[in-house]
A and B are shown apart, each in its own frame.
Chain A
Amino acid sequence: MKHFLFFWGVALLLPIFHFTLHVGLGIGAGAPDLLTVGLLVTARQVRTGTAAGMGFALGLMEDALSILSFGANSVALTVVGILGARSRDVFVGESLMFLASYLALGIWLRGAIHWLLTRDGAREEAVRVFVVQLPMAAAYAAAVGTVLLMVTGIWKSGPSR
């Protein structure tokens, strides 16, 4: 029960930290994408429908701050939530390497879907986004997320374990 509460506490805190860093402190791209980290970690522990719902809700919050591509964040995070939940059936792992790769891949995918759904004229050049920006953002957020999850012990505990 203690682990359960602790897991959900941290899972809730990650989006709050994300919006505090990005919106509250206005750090922008300098802050890691903790929203996707939180979703990816939670998605491994909940049903696919719940993960999709969480992705939708979090994406909608990000979309509320966007006038370039309203809905793109919602679609991206819903897809990431669904795939994160379904990944349980395909990949099983608790190693540090698995966690870092899982987070990095999820964050890269989220950025890629967002780019694809962004309207023409507002998109940056594909090669630079897919080869430079997204891998760097993914590596950064995955590193911060991994350290955070290992320090808090969330990754090993999970809500029901």
Chain B
Amino acid sequence: MASFEPDRVESRGRRGLILPLVFLVLSALLLLVPPATQGRVSSVLRGSVLAPFIQIQESLHQARLLSESLGDLRFQLDSTLSVLHSQSTIEEENRRLRALLDLRDRSSAGFLAASAIRSGTRGSESMFLLDVGRLDGVEVSDPVVVADGLIGMVREVGLRSALAMDWTHPDFRVSGMTLDGEVFGIVEPRQGAFREEDRLILNGVSFHTPVEDGVPVVTSGRGAVYPRGILVGTIAGLAEIEAGWRRSYWLDPSVRPGSATHVLVLTEERPTDSEPFEDLWLPGERLLGPSR
């Protein structure tokens, strides 16, 4: 009687290939799922399996903060107080001038202090975790800054944590201008030979407006993400000239992402559909256009 063993072995072998193929297809599908789904999966994993490891880094960060020398903290407090003191009259002046011009109060951004945690795993080079989330008022696209300037923006928000990207991420873009408001352009990252050499570039500057080296570039406030006036970097030479109509300049970033461990999230309230635009104008003012 013929043995059926080889057939059985062959069929087991074939069956043995199905499961690996299933996992391979599943993993390939992860590359294709929409970013929102990717974010949800990431968020669940960060809040469950990876939570203890993230918690360890948060605890270490807190311990490091506590061990910072009292002298340094005193110095920072004194500097802040002196700046506040010197600007106290400016605030009053500003209020009076706005009243003279019948201008409404400017909506002010809220600052939320957070710890920046870097995971250090492969593929996580341009991101960092924040220990504040939706319950603290953080929203997607909130800018993240440090004392020296802009560092990035929030990409995903969980209940008590958020994932942010820094300016080295290929998707990072911000509308920038020189401090005097003369030159505008789009600031974007350029990868260096090593990650430490990553730089920013001010792109799309009109050809006939040259910019000197060392000029500070700040956010222009155009677009709905970054408020005006946050330092992005300083001009560090001409990068490209294109056919006599466009220039690009290298920027020395004001902040090196790796050095930031304590950041501020700007949680400004943005107008929503439920907030009519008419409220933006003073009574009596009307939009230009044909009267009905």
Contacts and interface: CB of A to CB of B under 8 A. Distances in A.
The judgment on whether A and B are partners is yes
Interface stretch (B75-83, B96-104, B162-170, B175-183): B162-170
B123 A68 contact: yes
Nearest to A114: B122
Contacts of B126: 67-68, 122
B19 interface: yes
A72 to B, nearest CB: 6
A27 interface: yes
Contacts of A125: 193
A60 B45 CA distance: 8
A66 B16 CA distance: 31
Interface in A26-72: 26-29, 31, 33, 47-53, 55-56, 59-72
Given A49-B19, A60-B41, A61-B49, A68 B125 contact: yes
Interface stretch (B53-61, B206-214, B225-233, B267-275): B53-61
Interface residues of A, number: 53
B118 A26 contact: yes
Interface in B10-60: 16-20, 22-24, 26-33, 35, 38, 41-42, 45-46, 49-50, 52-54, 56-57, 60
B119 interface: yes
B23 A55 contact: yes
A48 B46 contact: no
Interface stretch (A73-81, A91-99, A147-155): A73-81
Contact of B127 (A48, A53, A66, A75): A66
Contacts, number: 163
Contacts of A27: 120
B199 interface: no
Contacts of B120: 22-23, 26-29, 31
A88 interface: no
Nearest to A18: B121
A78 B30 CA distance: 12
B171 to A, nearest CB: 8
B123 A24 contact: no
A65 B46 contact: yes
Q: Which of B53, B60, B129 gathers most chain A CB within 10 Å? A: B53
Nearest to B156: A67
A90 B285 CA distance: 82
Given A22-B119, A62-B122, A78-B24, A67 B155 contact: yes
Contacts of B193: 125, 128
Contacts of B62: none
A61 B155 CA distance: 18
B24 A52 contact: yes
A72 B38 CA distance: 12
B47 to A, nearest CB: 9
B152 to A, nearest CB: 11
B42 A25 contact: no
Q: Which of B35, B52, B155 gathers most chain A CB within 10 Å? A: B52
Contacts of B26: 56, 74
A83 to B, nearest CB: 10
Interface of A: 19-20, 22-29, 31, 33, 47-53, 55-56, 59-75, 78-79, 81-82, 85, 111, 114, 117-119, 121-122, 124-125, 128
Given A67-B124, A67-B156, A70-B35, 15 more contacts: A19-B53, A23-B50, A26-B120, A47-B16, A49-B23, A52-B24, A65-B50, A65-B129, A66-B127, A67-B127, A71-B31, A78-B27, A111-B122, A121-B191, A122-B169
